[in-house]
């Protein structure tokens, strides 16, 4: 059975999505990018709340770590084990090294976003103890299924929501407002380019830019189920909670029989949807007169 791994739009809406989610994924403030965050002090309460509903809870610690983060990171990993978190999504090898040094019994999921694109690299990390991989959004459905057949740990792939495109340590919005001496009370920001609108989020540790469309892979989700994909990820970033709850409900009831009806309703809820790279091969071409 393929499980629905869900990120709430905001931490306050966690309980509103538990009915249809099999597992929850959130980040920790100052240790995560591209995920709804909770504070370290809220971790125990969140884990108890989710597990009280007999659901799984995963924590993302997927930012690039700095020397000043390591002591706090070690403390946080120990807490995750103590509270029986079901797994840690990580990017920086520091997480893996601390995990090994402390001999933690805490499943690690390699979540390197743009890097998890081939089975050879994943198999390498398997040999270093990972127990799952969050595949890149920049590979095709064919490649996703090929990777799943070639590796020995569970795959996770995003099937709905805005896709993370870019992360920078720079505070791009604050710097822009300061440079042009602008003031605003808005908490929503967008980048407009070539007739596309990209949501932007600025946190204390940097700036994140997302795709101009919502990935809607409801049809592919059914195929992933048939190939025994362990988890699929549904992101609530920038989505209103009432519509997002309906998305989760639709994913929980979709079958081959009602697929077209469900797809049509999702298209009505979110007209700005697409399939990203699922059917677009990445082609590398040599420029003319270059070797």
The tens digit of pLDDT for each residue in 148-173 reads 999 999 999 999 999 999 999 999 99
Would residue 174 count as lying in a domain? no
List Cβ neighbours of 4 (8 Å cut-off, separation of 6 or more). 20, 21, 22, 23, 231, 232, 234, 248, 251, 252
pLDDT category at 291 given cuts 50, 70, 90 is: low
The residues with which 220 forms a beta bridge, in sequence order, are none
Mean pLDDT, rounded, of the chain = 95
pLDDT, tens only, 81-132: 999 999 999 999 999 999 999 999 999 999 998 899 999 999 999 999 999 9
**What's the whole-number mean pLDDT along residues 65-72?**
96
- Provide φ and ψ at 139, rounded to 5°: -120, 165
pLDDT exceeds cutoff 80 at 185? yes
pLDDT exceeds cutoff 70 at 290? no
pLDDT category at 145 given cuts 50, 70, 90 is: very high
Would residue 282 count as lying in a domain? no
Would residue 209 count as lying in a domain? no
Would residue 47 count as lying in a domain? yes
Percentage of the chain exceeding pLDDT 90 = 92
**What is the pTM for the complete model shown?**
0.94
Would residue 138 count as lying in a domain? yes
pLDDT category at 187 given cuts 50, 70, 90 is: confident
List Cβ neighbours of 191 (8 Å cut-off, separation of 6 or more). 197, 198, 200, 209
Domain count, the chain: 1
pLDDT, tens only, 34-66: 999 999 999 999 999 999 999 999 999 999 999
Would residue 205 count as lying in a domain? no
* CATH code (residue 82): 3.20.20.70
Would residue 175 count as lying in a domain? no
Tokens matching residue 202: 């600025």
Would residue 266 count as lying in a domain? yes
pLDDT category at 281 given cuts 50, 70, 90 is: confident
Rounded to whole angstroms, the Cα distance separating 144 from 220 reads: 11
Domain ranges, residue 125: 3-161+215-274
Residue 4, classed as helix, strand or coil, is: strand
């Amino acid at each position: 059975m393929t499980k629905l791994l869900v990120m709430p739009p905001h931490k306050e809406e966690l309980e509103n999505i538990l009915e249809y989610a099999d597992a929850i994924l959130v980040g920790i403030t100052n240790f995560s990018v591209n995920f709804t965050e909770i504070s370290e002090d809220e971790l125990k309460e969140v884990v108890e709340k989710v597990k009280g509903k007999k659901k799984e809870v995963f924590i993302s610690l997927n930012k690039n770590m700095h020397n000043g983060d390591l002591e706090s990171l070690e403390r946080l990993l120990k807490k995750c084990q103590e509270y029986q978190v079901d797994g840690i999504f990580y990017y920086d090898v520091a997480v893996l090294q601390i995990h090994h040094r402390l001999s933690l019994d805490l499943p690690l999921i390699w979540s390197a976003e743009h890097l998890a694109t081939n089975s050879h690299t994943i198999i390498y990390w398997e040999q270093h103890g990972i127990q799952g991989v969050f595949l890149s959004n920049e590979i095709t459905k064919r490649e996703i299924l090929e990777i799943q057949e070639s590796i020995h740990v569970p795959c996770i792939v995003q099937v709905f929501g805005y896709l993370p495109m870019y992360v920078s340590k720079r505070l791009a919005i604050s710097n822009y407002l300061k440079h042009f001496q602008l003031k605003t009370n808005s908490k929503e920001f967008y980048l407009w380019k070539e007739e596309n609108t990209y949501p932007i989020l600025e946190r204390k540790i940097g700036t994140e830019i997302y795709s101009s469309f919502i990935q809607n892979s409801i049809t592919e989700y059914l195929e992933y189920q048939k190939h025994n994909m362990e988890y699929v990820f549904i992101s609530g970033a920038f989505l209103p909670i009432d519509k997002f709850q309906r998305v989760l409900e639709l994913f929980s009831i979709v079958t081959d029989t009602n697929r077209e009806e469900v797809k049509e309703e999702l298209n009505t809820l979110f007209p700005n949807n697409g399939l990203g790279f699922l059917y677009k091969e990445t082609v590398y071409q040599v420029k003319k007169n270059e070797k």
